[in-house]
Amino acid sequence: MADQAYTLPIPVADEASQEFFDGAREGKLMLLRCTQCQRYRLPGRELCSDCWSTDTEWAQATGRGKLYTFGIMHQKYHPAFADMTPYNYALVELDEGPRLVTNIVECDDDDLRTDMPVEAVFDAVSDEATLIRFRPSE
């Protein structure tokens, strides 16, 4: 997608999520892992939801998961999306557990099914930003 100007809003990394977005640029899906109980979580959550520990390390996820739920957006809530509706938005449950808000690509919206296996694709939308989307997998 980098061959044409990307005009949609791009997430801005903060201190808590910098490693996540840096990883995406390198083709890695990075998660926080609790060093006490090994449970994974997304950046932005200070405490482990299992053991309440704040001790974490960054760990590379497999990039595999399943489509937990999805919707098809018809409403144009932001002018930048006016030319692309309808489009899908999805919640993917990673094999490691956390659920990530994303889009499913390389699949017609009519073919989306909950629980379908998916894998991460790294969409470099600009020199600075790579978005993690998912496509069907075996």
Question: Smallest gap, in angstroms, from Cβ of residue 32 to Zn ion?
Answer: 10
Q: Please, which residue, 39 or 133, has the CB nearer to Zn ion? A: 39
For Zn ion, the closer CB: 2 or 51: 51
Q: In terms of CB distance, is 34 or 132 closer to Zn ion?
A: 34
Q: Of 51 and 84, which has the nearer Cβ to Zn ion?
A: 51
C-beta of 97: minimal distance to Zn ion in Å? 11
**Tokens 């200070």, residue?**
46
Interface with Zn ion by CB under 5 A: which residues? 34, 36-37, 39, 48, 50-51, 53
Rounded to a whole number of angstroms, the minimum distance from the CB of residue 38 to Zn ion is 7
Question: Token pair of 15, please?
Answer: 């201190």
Residues in a beta bridge with 100: 92
Closest separation in Å from C-beta 107 to Zn ion = 34
> Residue 123: which of 93, 100, 103, 109 has the closest Cα?
103
State how far the Cα of 98 lies from the Cα of 31, in Å rounded to an integer.
Answer: 9
Return the closest-CA partner of residue 49 out of 67, 62, 64, 36. 36
